[in-house]
Structures are given as structure tokens and as C-alpha cells.
Structure 1
């Protein structure tokens, strides 16, 4: 009876709480801003942008609601956390702005001050005008806005690199500076720029968890600096800041061609120490510490093995006999340390506005064999680029050697090797620090004790961009391709640019970038990464890459790095590395990549910042146009067309063939048309008109010279030339469908469903087929298991994607950027999450799962973290029936496109409506929410 009375008493209270909750839900907004970003980065340090851009995405408050939209936003930026928590925007308060924009909003508050921290938050109004809760706090700190703010000097050791030597001759140097503080500081941001990698220590403690810092730059023009918050590591009394430099890129051939810079790693660093943790903008520091001749230096036990050169990237040797564990501590004896050398060096200093390199994915051996010669062969189970750690033992003074290989039959590939010299203890642990290896197998020589699986570890090292996709289907081969393409891409992303291969060259080729960039954007959050890489391309413009004019017989350097400054708009084939060969499709990345970024992220600034570079590139190409056709220019390695198609090495790729000229002219037209779109968008209408006219005239010239009327093909009728012509809109409109049909025949009949294209041609082919929605043709290619195909790689024990379709040709990489272009199709093809042709940044997007019988895939589950939030598409076919689950994130609109046989029932959803058909596709508009259709 007592319990009954208690329940009767509680009922009114429960009803009252339900009413309050219901009223509260009506008053509370339907969305909340999350994932706050500044210049694509989460809480970045040391930005030197005076007007950084702020972004967020929206999270639904209640998963059961539909149609959530942003109708207004309010951003507050404050100089302290206390002010921000009180919602006092002393730096910037936008008040309420009526807008649905939530990406890349320009900061427009008070002028920012160097070396300060800014705190911000945002709230929004939803579709009914209800205010959201405030977002969580976010922040960014500023770097140094003016080059004159740098009081530090470039310093290095007295060891200089000998270019004539067969291997590196200099040690990785230590530097240190001791100083006194009267009290423990509240704020101290240490800015460190280096040519060569660096690590930073304060009072013996390593600062930061990143590795191989900073991001790679063209050190003939620029060095990037990193901001380190060291206030909590400093103490009252004596302190020491120590820096360890790694030789690495400081001796790369592209950077040491001329003798106007020191042939040794150098560093420039400074810190302003403040008493307050949040000093006012006009407060002066209590002291400044800057690199100069008073800093002490000493060789470390570590040294680069190799030349940081083609096939000679080498490794590292650690001489444990030279260890000094006190080198970065206050107690270190500096009596035998030398004064640093000041090297007057003119470089632009800019902040590293891209994610750091970090250690990922611990890898353990799957097998270790002891061989007859006493060496050990370690199988790590997967090909990877990164670091290894090996416990070693032997006689004091012995050198333990490590060799790295991609191929089971070779002890070493591409000259990658490291070593460890034992000290008097006879034991030690080798670990990478300023170099990395690439391979699957490790050969260890010189051990006196058995090597076990517990003695060996590996880690993949890459730039720490965030993942943006997940994909799983009923097709095991497609799943394997998705997984291995992503793994390969990650292993190529060290240092803020995509390398062609991490073991032989480590260069950022433009042609390879075209083959990987959309794969990157559909699978990772690459905004900051590609923004940085575009700055690298601007830095290298005007620099000759490999060779001089092929007609200039007096210029003999036909096969070596040039580095001559031509200042004529030319784009070298790689950035930031200058070196390497390529063709018009390599330099053309300076137009295509910004355009892809604009489509994907809605980033108009990337078009504005790179427009003059695009214009210079096209003006350079114009100097090689005769009769509206671009003619071959440069040397042997300057006019490549497609690269590494099946059996390409036997057929020859550097020839003056008509098919090569056809492809490059089609790509030239593709560049012209793309640049014209860019120009129209940013108000450069005169330039747009000129390029549109040139594109039309060149299209007519290509049709006159290369079009084959008898079979609707171009040049040799290869997939590469057909795809390039179609993508560039070379065929007249009345012939387009016939040329597309000819491409279909080339794929299905001539090549029996196999691909017959390389890096450039294959990227153009997949781009075209994705744009055309031809999942059937892409699937016919990606489903093959015989040569040439990705399935052939899988069946031949590949764990990464190869450089060539052939496995056993010597000298070629088994971890390469060549054939990663299907990576975007898993998301926008099989997954069906496509960019809308009339919108940018996924504010509107297409949902189009593959049509019935376009593939043999029965189901797929895809998630994509788009610029507007998480999109999900899960579909399954049982017979002819399609089941579909869709998540449309707040503040976006999905447009579902289906073939007529896949008509769905939308009657139970008020936020779904039928749109007019487009071609043979049914269309439905879907507002935010979670949906299930049959």
C-alpha cells in the first residue's frame, strides 16, 4: 500500500517533468555546432595568417528529427578563456549573421597580434530560429606576421657536406642554450624553423609527439616554422633549450645545386618569455632567447647513411659509443662544445599550417628466420614506409647492420640500410629518428644473440590528417583494393605532400598528384595538406626541373637536376622537390588540384591564391603552341604523356609519338577549360574569354590532326587518348556519344574488360567514367584478377599498390602512387556519395548507388565525413529489389538519383519530395535526417 501511495504521489511530478522536457525541447535548437576548425586544423599553433578562416559542422540534437538547417550564426573570439566563458568577444563578435554558411568564414575582427592565443566559440539558429547551445571552446595561436619580427639568426655546425663524397660525411648536430629566469613564466612560445629535420627539448624533456619535423619545403625559398608551447617546462633559475637537427633534406640535390646556402642542416629559433599566461597585446616579454653564435653545438651519435638522393636515401647509423644522455639537460658539461656558426641565409619564414608527421600503426613481425650465414630475415607481413626498432647485442664496437627490402628475394632494395655501433655494454636498441625505411623484409647482420619477434617493431609514419571514409561491400576484391589503396596513400604522405614512392625518390610529382588527389579528398580530410602543397607549387614556379632546352646543344645537363631560375611561368615536374621528369600533365596540377579543392571544399581562396600561377603556367605553354597545337618542348624527360601503362617499358614512353602529342594536347585543353571556369568564378572574365577561345581553336586542331573518322577514335585509339579527349570536351557535341561508345568498346571488347593505361591516362580514364556515372565500365576493370589488374596484384601477394602493372621488373617500386585513382570511386561510385555538379562543398550532394546489374556487388556500407558533416549510404540488392538507408547531415540537401526500376516509396517522409527526372534518372530531394527506403 505504501508503494502505491508513493507512485500516486510521484505521478504529477513525472507528468510535470515530461511537460517541462517537451517545452525545453521546443525551445532548444535542433542542432549544435561541433568539430570547430581554423584553416582546416584543430586548435592550430603559430598561424601567420592575419585573417584565418573558421569552420564547423552541425550535429543533430535529436536523431529522430528531420530537416535540421542553420539559418544564422554567431562567432565570438576572445583574448582569454574567462572572457569567452562570459561570452564577451573583446576581439570579435559577429553578433547574429543571417547565413547558412559554416565553412571557411573569414575572420574579420580586430587586427591580430603576433605570438598570442585567441579563443573562440560559435552558436547557431536552426530552421525554426531557435538558438543552439554554444559549441565547445576552440583556439588558435598566432605566429610571427612580419619577417622583421625574427631576431634569431640561422646557425649550424662547422661540419659541411661534401658533395663529391659517395655518402654523407656529416653528423646530425646537437645545439643548446642555457639561460636564467627570475621566475617561472606564464607564457613562452618557441618558434623553430629548420633546414633539415629537428627535435626540440627543454630541460631534458622532448617537446611534442610529432616526428620528422618540419613539413618539407623548397628550401631555396622557404623554411617553415613550428610553434612549441614550452612555458610549463621552464623553471625559475637555470634552464636549457636544446635542438637536435637531422641532415635529411638539407643536402637534397635540388637544394644544393648552388653554393649560396650552407651545405649543412641549420636552425633558426626564438622564444619570447612572458610573466603572464595571457599577456595583454601591448605587454613586452621579460626576456627573449634567440639562436645566435652563443649557442653551443656538438656532433650527436646519429648520422645519415646515404646521400638523400635518387636510390641513395639510405638510412641512419647510431654510434652508441658517442652517447651523452645529459646533452639536453641542465647538468651537461659544455666545456667540449663549440660555438655555433652563423650562416647568413635568406629564406621566407612561414608557419607550418599543415598537420605534423606522426607515428601510426604498430607493425609486428609475422616471421623471423635465421640463415646459414648467421643473419636474420624478418618478415613484417606488410610493405610500409616508416620506422623500425630492433634490440641488438654483440661484442662492444661491433656494427649491427639492417637492410630493408620490398622483395623477398633481395636483402636490400633501393639502397635502404641502417646500422648500430655497440658501446661497451654490448647491447642496445636501434630506432629511427631523422630518416625512414620502406619495405616488408628486414635483414639483420652481426648479432651475437638470437633475434626474437619481441625484439622487432615497426611503425608507419605519415602526416596526421584525419580519416574521412569507411567502406565495406559484399565484394572481397573491392574491399581489398579500398584497404590497400588507402594504406598505400598513407605511406606516401610524409611531410605535407604526396611522394611518388618513399624508398627511391620521395618526390612530389604533379602527374602522380592528379592520380591521387581525389582519392585523397574522398578518403581523408586534406584541406590543410593540399593548401600547403599548393604553396610549394607557387614556390617552385619559374624553376627548371630536369633539363634545359632540347634544342640547346650547348646545355649539356640533359639527365640531371637543373634548378635554373627561368622565371617564365614554367612549372617543374615536382614540388617542393624541383627534381624529376614529367610532362604537361605534371605541371597542369597547378590548375586541376585547386579546382578539385574548390569543388570539394567550396574553397574560393585556393582559386584566388593560385590564379597567377595558373596564368603563368598557361603563358609558358603558349610559347610552345604552333597552329593551335602544343608542340614537344624541353628535353627527354620534359614531355611525357601517359606513364607506365601495361608493357610500357618494352614499348618505350619518352618517344615523340603522335599518341603522346595527342594526349598532351587534350590535357592542355582540359587545363584551358578548367582555368577559364576558375577565371569566371573570381571575376577574371577577360582571361576566361581568351582561354575559352584557345580551347575551342585547339580542340578543332586536335580533331583535324588526330580524330579517326572510321572508328570515332583519337590517335591510336587507346583508353588514355579517348578519355583525355572526352574529359577535355574535344569531340564536337554531335560526336561525343559515339566517341564514348568507342571507349566502351575499347574497354569491354578490345581489352576484354582490362585496363590499358598508366598513371596519367588511368587517372583521366577513371575521372571521366566517374563523372559519366559509368560504374559498369569501372567495375569491369576493377573486378579483373588477371594481368593487368589490381586483382593480379592481390593474387601475387601485394600488400601495397605497385608502381607498374608488372611485379618482377627490377628497379621499380612496389609501394607507389601510380594506380590509386580507384580510391575515390569506392565512395562516389559504389558508395554513391557524389559531388553535385551545381554546388560546391557538399551543401547539396548526389546519392546514386550503382544501377541494377552495373556491378555484381550485392551490398555496400559507406560513410563519408564531408565538409558539411557525416553522410551515410548503405544499400543492398536482393534480386531486383533495392533497400537503401541514408543519413543526410544537418544543413545539407541530398539528391537521390535512381533508375526507374528502383522507384521508392517516399510517402512516410514529409522531408522527401520528388524532383523532375534528369535524363533516365528519377530524382528525389532529401532533407537532413535518417531514412530507410525500399
Structure 2
């Protein structure tokens, strides 16, 4: 009995020790169980969980297996590293499935159990050789831009027991694949959009469960998509080629150890289908009467189908997709059905979203149901189409006539809140219609809430603007005849984007196209992929704030995710673009060529302006010089990160010369700038362009300017992201809050008050009198001005990371209460786990609640003048384990803490 009790007690103690430390959230190349990686040395990341404070990993051990065979055992490694740990085992093989586990030791004497296994599957490491399949095209005369979508099929048989099956698929166009009538995967608009002539991605799917013993069949539809369809406002088609094509390879492994490949070739059959037209801008026409029931099934009679045409297209530009695809997400039912003054029946889904509508209808064969998509209603309550420009944004379904029929599009998407329905007599039944949001399957990572409902709606609008414009490419807008990867929009929003969602792989994919599309002189095009193909000015050019997305975004991804590889990969491109700017500059002054400058800043003629005010136009070249310095500064940091000492020395000298040139050209002896605008002073202060003894008067001039506009902002795309951060940095957070909470034009909350559910392209896309800005450029889903989200997270809630220990290895908690808010909170799922910072006023106390994940530390700035008045969970700081007082800084007491949850309290204003 005593023996049993002893071992029971020992077992319970052991369980307690295990429970105190465990390993979770295993990721391979920043993904959970990815399929199709072509990374020869993938990186592993994991998070530690513990119920104790100040937990640090001291060692780890990784095991990697292929089946039952070990391919790597790291042995016990004495290191804190738990993010981006590089695989160092045997060479990985194409198509193979691998699993890995990790266990860790901590600084409190605990050893974790082995984690649950995580899996990944390799793609094709040498696709040019390993794709034995052939490119095939339909050869059908009707298969043209604005033409039909062909349907390919291949029948085959299997007699052996199947162990596994993997499909590798891509297309010159967009595809949708089926095996035995079952859709392959849940990704849409694959293979996505890249610089197709240089980088065409394929997807990898585990299709083991799709196959059956005996006869099988593959069916694939291939639409125009971005490859051959209309792109840009000039209605250009065939940007990348004149015909669509399919590359499909199925690899089957049998239980007896043998394998077989089924690849696209001349034996495949092709025919017309029910999709008469499917274009990104114009929408889809689907004639259900032309459906070939069971066309992707094994028993289908393919008599009358023609042979596919084999094409000699290259495979050397084919690479694996290592990022998240576009998938379906939220669904919406109409919140109301309305009849417009014109008598049209319209569904209001309550949210401006991007995707399409699934509908269930019935009628006579040949009846047409037409759905027309718009973002807003005009002041009279009618649909507003003008801002779509040439985009029809219309789906047409022609009824088969056999009872209730369901339809949703395949190879298009729309930006909309309102949908006109034509072809249904009588009242619409809202239950028959569902709006489906489509966007890249980025993991949500950030939340921000406050005591102000309008600010909370602003945050929601920012996130929906990101969802709607992150469809494989960071687009400017999702509704009109544009939807392009404008570099400037992506650059200014990238840090905010990284708070809201995990965009590490999303941007890593897009940045490869930035490098691929870069001109020989180092200039980076304004849109990526570069469908404009224009030099515009007789030669390839770049523009400040746009082209330097190639420098700014890689650094931002490093800061947020600790992803050094993205900087290593992009560094040649980054360096080439800086070289372009140096060549453009004369005597270190970039004052030549085209510049977008502070795009869409305030002008008096916008909404008739504010009484007595003048336009806020900043000198183009002053803006360029500031961004030139910004890029050099980031190149210095990047070169230091990569150990490129020669580049560091070169760039540090260059930066000093560029700032001196700025001061000589754009600043008077007294410190006044030649452009007396908010943006001029913001950029000069943000990038330290002014001598230290001239900065305070610049701050004063900025504040005076803001006051002169009655606390309205007048900034454009490049000034807006830094407006509130600069004010906060220089002790003017009260002014920043006045700007944030301003709700009349121009301001962030003006669109919110007008009923916006996304961010607008212009401060007055819809004017105070409910009329619209120039329809030639008026989008109601355009995320650039949503860059204020960075300040909401970083300064209002106070959640940031230390660049010296990037990726939240060291968190900075520094809230800035104010603006009449009684509370604000932000959370962020970092690579290490959840980070949180929330403050709340309760009587005369300010409560600061934080959470720091295991294996990290934080510097915490508590608003108080003395550590003596600060408590943690009611106890004096001196008695609290895991909290060290570092001193005071301005109006803050600075603390150093380890992992854990903490609740600090201090008297307001003391």
C-alpha cells in the first residue's frame, strides 16, 4: 500500500511538472502541416506554454522522420531559439511526407514531453524535370478572352491498393480540378497571380481519399483569370499569352511499393462547358442547360469530346506555392431587401466585402437571373455603378429548369455590399442568397478594441479593407477595372497588415515578384505584377513611397516575425533599388523625374474644402528626399542584420549626405520648410531629416498647422501613416487623439459616420452631401488610409516589438491613454504566442493588464511618475517575482518582466 502510494504520488508530481511546460503550435515554414513545400531546408517554429512566470527555453531537441525512418535528430541543443529553426538533416526528397516533434527544457528545471507530431509534404524540388506531364490547351475556337471556359478530363484505372496519391496542378489561367466528381482542395482562383512569364506557381494536393479502386477520372476547368483576361483600365487582354493551358500530374503510390503517374498529355479530352464567359472584371455567364452531368466522373461517356492539344510551353518558370491560397471565409445573409426609386430589387448584405453570391433559384429553362454588384447607393437610394468604370461586375445564370438550382461563380470576384437581382418575378426571398467572402487564407493575429464605438468600427473597417484587397496580391481596390498590386498602397499599410493577420508568407510570395519584375536599372514598377509594362517616361522609373516597398516591406516582415530569410532573399533587390535612387539623385538630392508624392492629400476643391483653407500640397521632391533617407536607413539596418559591413559604412555616409542635402534644399536657416504642410513636417520629423535643435519648432509648426485646420488632417497616402506616430513621439498625443476622433471631413471617422464598412480611397469618396468624388477614381474599399491601425495597436494600446530582438522576442508595452477613452486593448498572436496589452481607467486608478508569452521578455512602460505608486496584482513592485524596475522615462515607470500575465495599477496622473 505504501509502495503504491509512493509511486502514485511520484506520478502525480511528474504530471504536474509536465503540465507546467508543454510545446504547442508547431509550424513548418510558418504554416501548419503544409503540403507542397519546395524549400530544401525548411524552418521549424513552436511555442512554449507554461503556468509560471519568467519561463525561458534553455534547450530543445527535434526529431524528423519520413515514415518510420529518422532523417534528422538534432540532439539536445542548448539555445533559446524556438522560431525559424533551420532543418539540418538528410536531403529532403520531392513529394515525400515528413513528420517532426520537439521537446524543450526551461530555466526552471522542467523538461517538456515530446510534442504531438506535426507534418509536412514536399513539393517538386526540380519541377522542370519532375513534371513529366505535358502542357495541354483546348484548341477550341470558342476558347478566347471573353470566351468559354473549357473542361478537360482524363479517365484511368487503378487495380492495386492505394497507399497515397498527390496531385500537382497549375495553369496558364485559373483552374478548378475534380477527381471522381469531388472538388480537389478548397482553394480558389488557383494558381493565383504572379509574374507568370517569370514565376508560375503550382499547388500540391493530397488526393488519396478522392481515388477509388477500378475506374477513376480527373476533370479540370481552366478560365482566363489574370493570365489572359482583361487587366487594367485600358481593357487589355492576353497580357501573358493568347491561350490558356493546363499542367496536371497525379502521382499514386501503391501499398506494394510501386508508383504510377497520370499526367496531362494528348490523351486527355476536352469540350465546351456551361461557363460561357468568366472574367475578373466583368463577371461570369453560366448556362446550366449546357451542364454535362458527371463530366468529371469515371462513368461519363466522353463521346464527342475532342483531344486536347499538347503545347511546348516551358516548365522552367514553374515553382511551388509556399503561401496561403485564396479560400472562402465569412458568409452573409441580406440584412434587408429594398426596392430602389428606379424600381429595382436590391439585396443589402450589410458589409462591403469581396467575393461572390451563392443563390438558389427556380424557373423555366432559359430564364436568366442577373446579379449586378455595387459598393454603395447614391443619395437617392439607387445603385451607384459609375465608380466601377469599365467593370461590369455582373453574374448571369441561365436556368436549367429542373426544380431548385444553386449557383455561384467560379473564376471571378466582386467588391460589393449591394446586389441588384433581375429575372425573378415577385419579391425576393433573402434566404435564397448568401454572400461569401474570399481572401487569402491568412491567420488572424491581431485584435484592437476601445471604449469608443466609432474607433472600434474604424478598426473593423481596416480589417475588412485588408481582407478584400489581400487576394493573393495586395491590391489597391477590388471592384473596378483595376485591382492591381500597387506598391505604394502595400508599403504604407504593411505594418498594420502584419498586426491584423499573419502576412509573412503572403508578402514573401509577392516580394519575389517584386524582385522578378524589377527593371535592369534597379527601378521597381508601380504595380506588381507589372501588367502596366509602361515606362511612361521613355525609360523605366521608380517613385518614392511606391517603389521602395521593395525595401520597406522586407524589413517590416523581419521586425514583426523575426524572419531574417526574407531580408536575405530580397537583399539583392533592395540594394539594386537603392542603387537606382543613388543614380537618379544629383549631389545626393533626388529632385528629378516623376513622383506620386503625397498622393490624394487634401485639396480645397475636394468637397468645396474647409472655409478659408488652402490645399495641402507638399513639394514632390521634398517627399522623395525623405523617402530616400528612409530607405537608406532601412538598408543600414538590413546590412547590419546580414553582416555586410562594407555596405553599412557606405550607407551610413550616404545617409548623412542625403540629410544635409535636404536641409540645404528644403529648410530655411530658421528651420521652416519650403512646404508648410502637415506631410512636410511629419516626414521631416519621422525620418530625422532636421537638426536636433530645429525639431521642436518643427513640431510646433506641425501642431499650429493642424490647429489651423480645426484639428483636421490634410495628409495623403505617404503622410498619413506617420501623422499620429510623429505626434506621439514628440509629446503631442493629445493632438493625435483629436485627429483620430475628428468625425467631420477630412478625417478617419468621417467615413465611419457616413456608414462605411471599409476604408475609402479618398477622405471624401462620398461627400458630406452624399454626392461622390470623381468616379474615375473613387473606391470604397481601399486600405491605404487604414495605416492608422499601426498607431492604434502600437501607441494607443501600446503593443510593439523591440527591433533589436525582433518578432516579439522582446515586447515593448507602452500605452498612451487619452482622447477621452476609458479603455483600450490589443492582442497579437506572435510567433512565440499571445501578446496582450490593455489599459482601463477605474476611478482614480489606471489598470494595465498585459500578457507575455513564454521564452520572451518585455519592457513595460507604466504611466506613473514613481515606482512607489505602482502595484502588481495589489502588491508593491519590490515584492513581485518577475518584475524589475529599470527606472523612469518621461511620464512612465519602466519595468522589465519575463513571461506571464501581469496586472499593474497606478493612480491616474501620479
Q: TM-score, structure 1 length as denominator?
A: 0.88
Return 576-585 or 390-399, whichever deviates more: 576-585
Q: CA deviation at 1:531?
A: 1.2
Match of 2:304 in 1: 336
Match of 1:36 in 2: 26
Match for 2:351 among 357, 382, 397? 382
Counterpart CA distance in 1 for 2:742 and 2:618 is 30
Change (3 A) 1:769 1:502: farther
Counterpart CA distance in 2 for 1:334 and 1:254 is 35
Match of 1:322 in 2: 290
Alignment of 1:228-307 (within 5 A): 228-252=205-229, 262-276=241-255, 285-305=258-278
Match for 1:576 among 529, 539, 560? 529
Match of 1:68 in 2: 55
CA contact (8 A) 1:500 1:512 kept: no
Establish whether residue 801 from structure 1 lines up as the match of residue 754 from structure 2.
Answer: no
Establish whether residue 436 from structure 1 lines up as the match of residue 413 from structure 2.
Answer: yes
CA root-mean-square deviation: 2.8
Q: What whole-Å deviation, never above 9, does each CA across 1:15-51 have from its counterpart, x for those lacking one?
A: 8688436632675473211111111111100100100
CA contact (8 A) 1:591 1:671 kept: yes
Return 232-241 or 659-668, whichever deviates more: 232-241
Change (3 A) 1:316 1:223: same
Change (3 A) 1:22 1:612: same
Counterpart CA distance in 1 for 2:720 and 2:354 is 25
Q: What whole-Å deviation, never above 9, does each CA across 1:745-779 have from its counterpart, x for those lacking one?
A: 333x2232221111122123345456667543432
SS of structure 2 residue aligned to 1:741: helix
Q: What whole-Å deviation, never above 9, does each CA across 1:324-352 have from its counterpart, x for those lacking one?
A: 12110111121211111223223511111
Change (3 A) 1:361 1:257: closer
Return 863-872 or 14-23, whichever deviates more: 14-23
Q: CA deviation at 1:443?
A: 0.9
Match of 2:703 in 1: 744
Alignment of 1:356-395 (within 5 A): 356-370=325-339, 375-395=344-364
SS of structure 2 residue aligned to 1:432: coil
Alignment of 1:766-781 (within 5 A): 766=724, 768-769=726-727, 775-781=733-739
Match for 1:926 among 872, 886, 897? 897
Match for 2:511 among 534, 547, 560? 534
Return 295-304 or 246-255, whichever deviates more: 246-255
Alignment of 1:883-898 (within 5 A): 883-898=847-862
Alignment of 1:401-416 (within 5 A): 401-408=370-377, 409-410=382-383, 412-413=385-386, 414=388, 415-416=392-393
Counterpart CA distance in 2 for 1:430 and 1:480 is 33
Match of 1:3 in 2: none
Counterpart CA distance in 2 for 1:780 and 1:656 is 19
Establish whether residue 150 from structure 1 lines up as the match of residue 141 from structure 2.
Answer: no
Q: CA deviation at 1:611?
A: 0.7
SS of structure 1 residue aligned to 2:572: helix
Q: What whole-Å deviation, never above 9, does each CA across 1:695-714 have from its counterpart, x for those lacking one?
A: 2212111111111344x342
Q: CA deviation at 1:648?
A: 7.6
Counterpart CA distance in 1 for 2:8 and 2:215 is 62
Match for 1:197 among 168, 174, 179? 174
CA contact (8 A) 1:598 1:604 kept: yes
CA contact (8 A) 2:268 2:308 kept: yes
Counterpart CA distance in 1 for 2:781 and 2:624 is 27
Change (3 A) 1:614 1:372: closer
Match of 1:456 in 2: 433
Change (3 A) 1:569 1:376: same
Match of 1:513 in 2: 490
Counterpart CA distance in 1 for 2:727 and 2:211 is 58
Return 337-346 or 764-773, whichever deviates more: 764-773
CA contact (8 A) 2:38 2:320 kept: yes
Match of 1:914 in 2: 885
Counterpart CA distance in 1 for 2:714 and 2:617 is 17
CA contact (8 A) 2:149 2:276 kept: yes
Q: What whole-Å deviation, never above 9, does each CA across 1:169-210 have from its counterpart, x for those lacking one?
A: 321111111112221321221100122221111111112122
Change (3 A) 1:19 1:326: closer
Q: What whole-Å deviation, never above 9, does each CA across 1:490-546 have from its counterpart, x for those lacking one?
A: 11111253444444411111110122111111121221111112112112111xxxx
Match of 2:809 in 1: 843
Match for 1:95 among 55, 75, 86? 75
Q: CA deviation at 1:734?
A: 2.6
CA contact (8 A) 2:224 2:278 kept: no
Counterpart CA distance in 2 for 1:431 and 1:774 is 51
Q: CA deviation at 1:148?
A: 1.4
SS of structure 1 residue aligned to 2:577: helix
Counterpart CA distance in 1 for 2:803 and 2:239 is 49
Q: CA deviation at 1:305?
A: 4.9
Match of 2:596 in 1: 640
Change (3 A) 1:773 1:70: farther
Counterpart CA distance in 2 for 1:729 and 1:373 is 56
CA contact (8 A) 1:304 1:314 kept: no
Counterpart CA distance in 2 for 1:192 and 1:357 is 15
Match of 1:668 in 2: 628
Counterpart CA distance in 2 for 1:438 and 1:888 is 38
CA contact (8 A) 2:725 2:795 kept: no
Alignment of 1:547-696 (within 5 A): 567-579=520-532, 583-633=543-593, 638-647=594-603, 659-696=619-656
Counterpart CA distance in 2 for 1:424 and 1:839 is 64
Change (3 A) 1:245 1:528: same
CA contact (8 A) 1:375 1:447 kept: no
CA contact (8 A) 1:775 1:829 kept: no
CA contact (8 A) 1:160 1:264 kept: no
Match of 1:353 in 2: 322
Change (3 A) 1:867 1:274: same
Counterpart CA distance in 2 for 1:647 and 1:162 is 47
Return 430-439 or 764-773, whichever deviates more: 764-773
Return 294-303 or 588-597, whichever deviates more: 294-303
Q: CA deviation at 1:427?
A: 5.8
Q: What whole-Å deviation, never above 9, does each CA across 1:816-835 have from its counterpart, x for those lacking one?
A: 12211122222222221111
Q: What whole-Å deviation, never above 9, does each CA across 1:763-815 have from its counterpart, x for those lacking one?
A: 23345456667543432211111111122111111121111011111421111
Change (3 A) 1:844 1:780: same
Match of 1:49 in 2: 39
Q: CA deviation at 1:902?
A: 6.9
Q: CA deviation at 1:113?
A: 0.5
Q: CA deviation at 1:742?
A: 2.6
Match of 1:77 in 2: 64
Q: CA deviation at 1:161?
A: 8.5
SS of structure 2 residue aligned to 1:118: strand
CA contact (8 A) 1:404 1:411 kept: no
Alignment of 1:846-857 (within 5 A): 846-851=812-817, 854-857=818-821
- Consecutive unaligned residues of structure 1, counting only runs of 5 or more, are 1-8, 84-88, 280-284, 543-566
Return 123-132 or 345-354, whichever deviates more: 345-354
Match of 2:466 in 1: 489
Counterpart CA distance in 2 for 1:55 and 1:648 is 52
Match for 1:821 among 763, 777, 787? 787
Q: What whole-Å deviation, never above 9, does each CA across 1:203-255 have from its counterpart, x for those lacking one?
A: 11112122222232111211111111112222222211111112211225679
Establish whether residue 701 from structure 1 lines up as the match of residue 680 from structure 2.
Answer: no
Counterpart CA distance in 2 for 1:218 and 1:327 is 32
Counterpart CA distance in 2 for 1:571 and 1:680 is 23
Match of 1:900 in 2: 864
SS of structure 2 residue aligned to 1:820: helix
